[in-house]
């Protein structure tokens, strides 16, 4: 993919997580800095867990999300369809995706306003929910599409067809189809490999497979993955952690590369991913924060 030229944003939307008090404080700091540089901006406090009002992002050329990785992930679904870049400021716990924290925040904002940063293009997927061959619903996927067992604690069978041909079937608690971005999310917890974010690949990974192949499969960007669940018990589909929907025997899931990409503003050197990854994996930031409560 060709490199994207960074620009000095002129109209910014701040989206702090309304449920995180620290996000509000950081939003005030960012707003004060933007006012100093006479940059037009708006602030929208978004309740990411119980959204009753959606942000109006049209007309903005950059979104600054203040929260954790989950906050940024949800905001990415608003930004990606409009090709609006996203910058994450950490006010939550996990930080695989967010770029900045409160240290040197104003200095990095000045770099942003001077176009002294990189724009990183993250591959997304498209998941389609089919019923008797007809597309009923469609999602943009930043992290993963997940087929899993429902309330019954019993494994399910998931048949995987690749490019119209049979690939394999898994007996497992579920199956993940993830992006490189999603390889550090649920797929990592399920024992999958970590893919550098610039890779444009799909990762197919079973969850707790039973007498089945337990290896992840990495597919090329052009792959067409069709999933069909076979079970006498409840099976559900969830995309990027959204509320699961039930899957019946007449349903299938088709996953392909998305025409759109998630654009993310980055300040670190190109190998930042490996440096940050090592730091995160050497400690559990969630347990670390809980121990300080």
Q: Which of 28, 47, 61, 69 is catalytic?
A: 69
User: What is the Cα–Cα distance from 252 to 248, expressed in whole angstroms?
Assistant: 8
Q: Which residues pair with 252 in a beta bridge?
A: 130
Could you tell me if residue 132 is left (phi over 0), alpha (psi between -120 and 50 degrees) or otherwise beta? left
69 is catalytic: yes
Coil vs helix vs strand at 112: helix
- Cβ-count burial of 217 within 10 angstroms (0-12 exposed, 13-18 middle, 19+ buried)? middle
CB atoms within 10 A of CB 6: 17
User: What is the Cα–Cα distance from 89 to 105, expressed in whole angstroms?
Assistant: 9
CB atoms within 10 A of CB 66: 31
- Cβ-count burial of 65 within 10 angstroms (0-12 exposed, 13-18 middle, 19+ buried)? buried
Catalytic (active-site) positions: 69
């Amino acid at each position: 993919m060709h490199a994207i030229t960074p620009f000095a944003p002129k109209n910014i939307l701040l989206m702090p997580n309304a449920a995180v008090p620290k996000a509000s404080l950081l939003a005030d700091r960012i707003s004060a800095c933007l006012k100093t540089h006479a940059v037009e901006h708006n602030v929208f406090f978004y309740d990411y867990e119980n959204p009753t009002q959606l942000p109006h992002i049209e007309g903005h050329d950059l979104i600054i999300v203040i929260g954790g990785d989950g906050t940024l992930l949800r905001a990415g679904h608003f930004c990606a369809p409009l090709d609006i870049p996203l910058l994450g400021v950490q006010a939550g716990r996990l930080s695989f995706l967010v770029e900045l924290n409160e240290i040197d925040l104003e200095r990095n904002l000045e770099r942003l306003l001077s176009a002294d940063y990189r724009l990183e293009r993250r591959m997304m997927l498209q998941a389609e929910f089919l019923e008797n061959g007809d597309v009923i619903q469609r999602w943009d996927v930043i992290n993963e599409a997940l087929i899993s067992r429902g309330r019954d604690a019993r494994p399910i069978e998931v048949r995987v067809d690749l490019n119209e041909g049979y690939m394999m079937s898994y007996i497992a608690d579920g199956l993940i189809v993830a992006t490189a971005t999603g390889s550090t999310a649920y797929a990592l917890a399920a024992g999958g490999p970590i893919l550098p974010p610039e890779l444009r690949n799909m990762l197919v990974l079973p969850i707790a497979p039973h007498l089945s192949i337990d290896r992840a499969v990495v597919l090329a960007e052009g792959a067409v993955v069709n999933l069909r669940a076979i079970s006498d018990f409840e099976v559900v589909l969830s995309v990027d952690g959204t509320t699961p929907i039930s899957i019946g025997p007449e349903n299938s899931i088709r996953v392909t590369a998305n025409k759109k990409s998630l654009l993310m503003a980055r300040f670190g050197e190109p190998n930042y991913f490996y440096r940050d990854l090592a730091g995160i994996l050497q400690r559990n930031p969630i347990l670390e924060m809980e121990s300080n409560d």
